[in-house]
Amino acid sequence: MKKLIVTLFIAVSITASAQDRYTEGMSKAMQLWGEQKITEASNLFERIAMAEPDNWLPYYYAALVNTTASFGEKDVTKLTQQLEKAKEFSDVAKNISPENPELLVLEALINTAWIAYDGETYGMTLSGKNAQLYNEALQLAPNNPRVIFSKAEWDMGSARFFGKDITPYCQDVERAVELFATAESKEEPFYPDWGADRAKQVLAQCKS
């Protein structure tokens, strides 16, 4: 009995130690990202992912770091490298966590980065795909503020491109802001929680 208790204690200690390393690593990667050290953050998220093969979150953040860094990037070689890496990480995350609305939004953001770089080349092929991704995400998580806001912002961009009124989508942005304010924190550490500040900015533009 004593041997069993010792074995269980060791197992729990190892698990706790692994979780501590995970938490420490993810926190450090987030810090690097906040300091705009994109390559370092991406590499650390990737190393964490290799140590956590059943966890979609490190791959998600590795992809998100490379995606957000691609908006406004003019160097096509660097842009391509970042977005191809983002898509690779995103695909791995989707294999780990299928039918995950956060990952559908991420994939749409990767497509949007390509469209933002060269709308004439990528708009025709990726716009329809994005509409499909956002609709699928909304079906899976109709009250997820990131899904609602990301879809609304995409719809606004499409409306502006075709010279249409964006007002109908402002209601969706307002709903997203309300949901961000009341959203409960997920039990899963480092679950995505971004979007609230950006949604408030867009809503302010709607009302101006």
Is the pLDDT score of 17 beyond 80? no
Backbone angles phi, psi at 205, to 5 degrees: -65, -35
CA proximity to 92, closest of 115, 117, 61: 61
Q: CB of 82 within 8 A of CB of 129?
A: no
Tokens of 150: 């990301």
123 domain residue, yes or no: no
Could you read off the pLDDT of 71-129 as tens digits, one per residue? 999 999 999 999 999 999 999 999 999 999 999 999 999 999 999 999 999 999 999 99
| pLDDT at residue 6 in the model | 36
Tokens of 44: 């650390």
CB atoms within 10 A of CB 96: 18
Could you read off the pLDDT of 35-65 as tens digits, one per residue? 999 999 999 999 999 999 999 999 999 999 9
Q: CB of 116 within 8 A of CB of 158?
A: no
Euclidean distance between CA atoms 180 and 172, whole angstroms: 12
Quick one: 90 and 174 in the same domain? no
Could you read off the pLDDT of 121-142 as tens digits, one per residue? 999 999 999 999 999 999 999 9
Final residue in a domain of this structure, among 69, 98, 116: 116
121 domain residue, yes or no: no
Euclidean distance between CA atoms 64 and 62, whole angstroms: 6
Is the pLDDT score of 5 beyond 70? no
pLDDT band for 9, please (50, 70, 90 cuts).
very low
- Domain residues for the domain of 92 are 1-116
User: Count of domains in the chain?
Assistant: 2
130 domain residue, yes or no: no
Distance of alpha carbon 151 from the chain centroid: 13
Radius of gyration for the alpha carbons in the chain, expressed in angstroms and rounded: 19
134 domain residue, yes or no: no
Distance of alpha carbon 161 from the chain centroid: 24
Is the pLDDT score of 183 beyond 90? no
Quick one: 99 and 155 in the same domain? no
| pLDDT higher at 184 or 38 | 38
Quick one: 107 and 4 in the same domain? yes
pLDDT band for 185, please (50, 70, 90 cuts).
confident
Quick one: 89 and 162 in the same domain? no
41 domain residue, yes or no: yes
| pLDDT higher at 58 or 5 | 58
Quick one: 148 and 110 in the same domain? no
